[in-house]
Chains A and B, each alone.
Chain A
Amino acid sequence: MTFLSSIFKRRSSAPVARDRLQILLAHERIAVGDGKDDLLAKLHREIMEVIKRHVAVDQDKVQIKMDRGAQCSVLEIDVEVPGLTDRPENAKKS
């Protein structure tokens, strides 16, 4: 009894694999399908273009983080803008 229940209590890993793949492939199909970036990559590229139009940014002062999700993705762009203020400026999109 305890032996059996301990077997069944263990969460199987296949559903985790399926969920991970669904999320990943949903993003990748867009990217590979028509040769374009996925939405997050596109946002990232265009946001950087806009920032660069206004200030000279040092590559080393830019941090980008992504987390592609099923319902919602997070793109975090952290740019240290020189000159105007001493504070790093933060742009966050989701």
Chain B
Amino acid sequence: MAKVLVVTSGKGGVGKTTTTAALGAALAKAGQSVVLVDFDVGLRNLDLVMGAERRVVFDLINVIQGDANLAQALIKDKRVDTLSLLPASQTRDKDALTPEGVAKVIADLSKKFDWVICDSPAGIERGAQMAMHHADMAVIVTNPEVSSVRDSDRIIGMLDSTTEKAKAGEKMEKFLLITRYDPQRAARGDMLGTDDVLEILSIPLLGIIPESPDVLKASNVGAPVTIAEPESAPARAYTEAARRLMGEKVEVTIPTERKGLFDWLFRRRVA
């Protein structure tokens, strides 16, 4: 039975899609079978970040409405063969995401894969709720910045109240992923510290992803950063986060001001 993981944030543009692609690819490279599901109906982007945009035939809503079966809609990654994508619909109505339809798709995917990773749209409306509804665990993507932290807090509240797991009285596993962390601004004291964010949200830390041009480069060429630039600082941070998701104990490193190879010089334990 698969782990169903939602990547969510409340606030838009914080790095959910980047994270879905990078974590998914890192897990797949570690031998896990992974499917990435794009829930951003009307504004799909995961296909672009994955470099699969030219190959989309069917989407999530086609599957829900029975126009296509899962095998037809899934797009296999050409670089990592245990990685697949189920694209979101670009033009169709959001209301087509019915709770029953989504439940069935997630259940079917759970039989085929080790990991089902749901890329949530921004906001707290229907799309975001559908993306989190069947999750066993959640990665909350947060930028070290006040409005992002506030929105994450709301999302954590929703994860603990509206999801299937919450309604069954079970505990949803939640992890904080701090992204777009800028070591220079942190050193200057102009950015919320990791400790501050952790203390406010009080959920376990999955990792800290530095702000990096490698992320942009990877999305330009249509590859998760963990495939395009596997040795870059953000890719290493994502790869370590993926190992933590698999239950390994890996110390979290705080990105430092030093550029390049010595990014990881300054290690310390958090949380």
| CB-CB nearest in chain A for B68 | A59
Are B220 and A60 touching (Cβ within 8 A)?
Answer: no
A17 to B216, CA, bound (A): 10
The answer for the CA separation of A31 and B90 in the assembled complex, in Å, is 10
Q: A20-B48, A24-B48, A59-B69 are in contact. Are A44 and B57 (CB under 8 A)?
A: yes
CB closest chain-B residue, reference A11: B221
B72, A62: Cβ atoms under 8 Å?
yes
Q: For chain B, what secondary structure do more than half of its interface residues adopt (helix, strand, loop), or is it mixed?
A: helix
Chain A residues near B68: list those with CB within 8 A.
Answer: 59
B64-99 Cβ-contact flags toward A at 8 Å (1 or 0): 000011011000000000000000001100000000
Q: Is B153 an interface residue (CB 8 A)?
A: no
B56 beta carbon closer than 8 Å to chain A: yes
Which of B48, B57, B90, B216 contacts A65 (CB under 8 A)? Answer: B57
Q: List 26 A-B contacts (CB under 8 A).
A: A13-B216, A13-B220, A17-B220, A17-B221, A20-B51, A24-B48, A24-B54, A28-B90, A31-B90, A32-B91, A59-B68, A59-B69, A60-B69, A62-B72, A63-B72, A64-B57, A64-B58, A65-B55, A65-B57, A66-B54, A66-B55, A66-B56, A66-B57, A67-B54, A68-B55, A69-B54
Beyond A17-B221, A60-B69, A64-B57, 17 additional pairs, beta carbon < 8 A: A13-B216, A13-B217, A13-B220, A13-B221, A16-B221, A17-B219, A20-B222, A24-B53, A31-B90, A44-B57, A60-B71, A64-B58, A65-B55, A66-B57, A67-B55, A68-B54, A68-B55
In the complex, whether A23 has a CB less than 8 A from a CB of chain B is yes
Q: How many residues of A contact B (CB 8 A)?
A: 23
CA of A17 to CA of B222, assembled, Å: 8
* Chain A positions within 8 Å of B221 at CB level: 13, 16-17
A14 at the interface (CB under 8 A from B): yes
- Chain A residues with Cβ below 8 Å from B220 are 13-14, 16-17
31-74 of chain A: CB within 8 A of chain B:
31-32, 35, 41, 44, 59-60, 62-69
Q: Which residues of chain A are within 8 angstroms of B217 by Cβ–Cβ distance?
A: 13
Which residues of B (203-246) have their CB < 8 Å from a CB of A? Answer: 216-217, 219-222
Question: How far does the Cβ of B268 sit from chain A's closest Cβ, in whole Å?
Answer: 32
Bound-complex Cα distance A67 to B68 (A) = 18
Which residues of the partner chain B approach A14 to less than 8 Å between Cβ atoms? 220
Interfacial chain A residues near B55, Cβ < 8 Å: 65-68
Q: Cβ of B53 and Cβ of A64 under 8 Å apart?
A: no
Chain A residues with CB under 8 Å of B222's CB are: 16, 20
By a CB distance below 8 angstroms, the chain B residues around A64 are 57-58, 72
Contact of A32 among B51, B72, B90 (CB under 8 A): B90
- Complex CA gap A31/B54 in Å reads 14
- Contact of A20 (CB < 8 Å), options: B53, B57, B69: B53
**Min CB gap B21→A, angstroms:** 15
Closest beta carbon of chain B to A93's beta carbon, Å: 14
Q: Which residues of B contact A32 (CB under 8 A)?
A: 90-91
Docked complex: B173-225 residues within 8 A CB-CB of A: 216-217, 219-222
Chain B residues within an 8 Å CB radius of A17: 219-221
- Give residues 35-73 of B contacting A (CB, 8 Å): 48, 51, 53-58, 68-69, 71-72
